[in-house]
């Protein structure tokens, strides 16, 4: 039975979607909480709940790519996080989760 799942392109698409949602959730979890406020985005707990519910429902109910309305809503939330929130936070924290580095009194060096 697993052989037929591996040959199904929709199964692969569901695996990719779950992997993307997992990556977005882990990324949201490792970012600093104050960076969300500094970037003028929703709070860290908000994004953790939204992304966690999205991933959890897909793992619980199955990521149905064709008719899964919940899967698509969660995918949109993950895309919004990755395209809008993550770059703003990464710009503030220099991508390392901490403060800016390699900056002198007159700017970066």
Residue 53, H or E segment: helix 44-61
The Cα 61–Cα 9 span in angstroms is 19
**Which pLDDT score is estimated for 20?**
97
Residues paired with residue 103 on neighbouring β-strands, in sequence order: 108
**Which pLDDT score is estimated for 65?**
77
- Digit-coded pLDDT (tens) for 70-107: 999 999 999 999 999 999 999 888 755 445 556 666 66
Whole-model pTM: value is 0.79
**Which pLDDT score is estimated for 11?**
84
- Digit-coded pLDDT (tens) for 8-62: 888 888 899 999 999 999 999 999 999 999 989 999 999 999 999 999 999 998 8
Residue 103, H or E segment: strand 103-104
């Amino acid at each position: 039975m697993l052989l037929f799942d591996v040959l199904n392109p929709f199964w692969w698409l569901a695996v990719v979607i779950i992997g993307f949602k997992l990556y977005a959730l882990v990324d949201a979890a490792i970012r600093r909480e104050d960076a969300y406020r500094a970037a003028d985005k929703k709070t860290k707990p908000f994004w953790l709940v939204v992304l966690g519910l999205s991933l959890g429902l897909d793992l619980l109910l199955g990521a149905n790519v064709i008719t899964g309305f919940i899967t698509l809503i969660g995918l949109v939330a993950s895309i919004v996080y990755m395209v809008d929130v993550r770059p703003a936070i990464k710009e503030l924290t220099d991508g390392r989760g901490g403060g800016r580095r390699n900056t002198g009194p007159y700017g970066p060096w």
